[in-house]
């Protein structure tokens, strides 16, 4: 945590609206017109979000996804998972109200998931932190595609409505069903998932250790072509401000 400015431009923004998507997912709407590098129609772009800590201090930036951007109103939605008070962004988001100020960077120039019209099948694996990107990817898929989502959340109350022009099916995995603390429900799902014949893109984001296990499983045991796999650790258990090497 620091008061130093990072070596890129920050934009001051204000909370315009707040909404609970689920008990632990809070949607914050801002005016996104400051994001000049945002590429319309490209899902899963992300930026760094900085929250005030008092005494003119700000947190280090944490990565957050553009859940949606409305070109007509310039409104941009960010869905923040409330994982507890141990993280400055989660703690701030829990209490954030209309009118509160914070800062965001421009979107990362290499962020976003490009959709290849030749790809028939999509398998999307993720936990709560990945649901904003998964939601945006699903909404951007063409109608001829088929998508299956494997989503890991704590309880059934954390499920979200998912919508897509593509043929969509979803498997919700609940951590409360996994008695062992070390259980990795997404890895188990990746182990038994049917991988359709034909071009299949696989996108994975969740806790870093679990993503590393899934990456290894898909490449080494299930023979997935590296070019069709996009796997990123979005956070790491016990580590603040984690940066995945592929993020």
Ligand X SMILES: Cc1cc2nc3c(=O)[nH]c(=O)nc-3n(C[C@H](O)[C@H](O)[C@H](O)COP(=O)(O)OP(=O)(O)OC[C@H]3O[C@@H](n4cnc5c(N)ncnc54)[C@H](O)[C@@H]3O)c2cc1C
Please, where are the H alpha helices in 141-237?
185-192, 208-216
> If binding is defined by CB under 6 A, does position 86 make contact with ligand X?
yes
| Residue from the set 80, 137, 140, 204 that interacts with ligand X by CB under 6 A | 80
> If binding is defined by CB under 6 A, does position 85 make contact with ligand X?
no
Using alpha carbons, select from 131, 139, 126 the residue that is nearest to residue 202. 126
| Nearest CB to ligand X, comparing residues 135 and 166 | 135
Give phi and psi for 133, each to the nearest 5.
Answer: -70, -40
> If binding is defined by CB under 6 A, does position 176 make contact with ligand X?
no
String of DSSP letters for 50-82: E-EEETTEEPPPEEEE--EEETTTTEEEEEEE-
The span from the CA of 202 to the CA of 229, in Å, is 5
> If binding is defined by CB under 6 A, does position 1 make contact with ligand X?
no
β partners of residue 173: 152
Is the CB of residue 39 less than 8 Å from the CB of residue 45? yes
Is the CB of residue 205 less than 8 Å from the CB of residue 129? yes
User: What's the min distance (Å) between Cβ of 118 and ligand X?
Assistant: 25
| Residue from the set 21, 28, 35, 89 that interacts with ligand X by CB under 6 A | 89
> If binding is defined by CB under 6 A, does position 46 make contact with ligand X?
yes
> If binding is defined by CB under 6 A, does position 240 make contact with ligand X?
yes
Which part of the chain contacts ligand X (CB under 6 A), choosing from 12-20, 74-82, 147-155, 193-201? 74-82
Residues forming the site for ligand X (CB under 6 A)? 46, 62-65, 79-81, 83, 86-90, 129, 132, 234-241, 244, 247
């Amino acid at each position: 945590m620091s008061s130093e400015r990072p070596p890129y431009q920050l934009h001051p923004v204000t909370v315009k609206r707040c909404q609970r998507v689920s008990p632990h997912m809070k949607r914050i709407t801002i005016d996104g017109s400051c994001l000049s590098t945002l590429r319309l129609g490209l899902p899963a772009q992300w930026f760094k979000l900085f929250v005030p800590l008092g005494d003119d201090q700000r947190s280090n930036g944490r990565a957050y996804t553009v859940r949606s951007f409305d070109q007509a109103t310039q409104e941009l939605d960010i869905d923040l998972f409330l994982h507890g008070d141990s993280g400055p962004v989660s703690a701030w988001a829990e209490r954030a109200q209309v009118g509160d100020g914070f800062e965001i960077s421009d979107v990362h120039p290499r962020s976003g998931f490009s959709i290849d019209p030749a790809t028939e099948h999509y398998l999307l694996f993720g936990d709560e932190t990945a649901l904003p990107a998964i939601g945006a990817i699903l909404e951007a898929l063409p109608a001829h595609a088929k998508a299956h989502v494997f989503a890991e959340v704590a309880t059934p109350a954390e499920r979200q409505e998912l919508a897509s022009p593509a043929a969509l099916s979803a498997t919700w995995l609940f951590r409360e069903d996994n008695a062992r603390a070390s259980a990795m429900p997404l890895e188990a799902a990746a182990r038994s998932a049917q991988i359709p014949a034909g071009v299949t893109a696989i996108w994975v984001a969740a806790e870093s250790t679990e993503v590393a296990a899934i990456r290894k499983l898909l490449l080494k045991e299930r023979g997935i072509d590296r070019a069709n796999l996009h796997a990123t650790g979005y956070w790491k258990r016990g580590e603040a401000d984690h940066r995945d090497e592929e993020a």
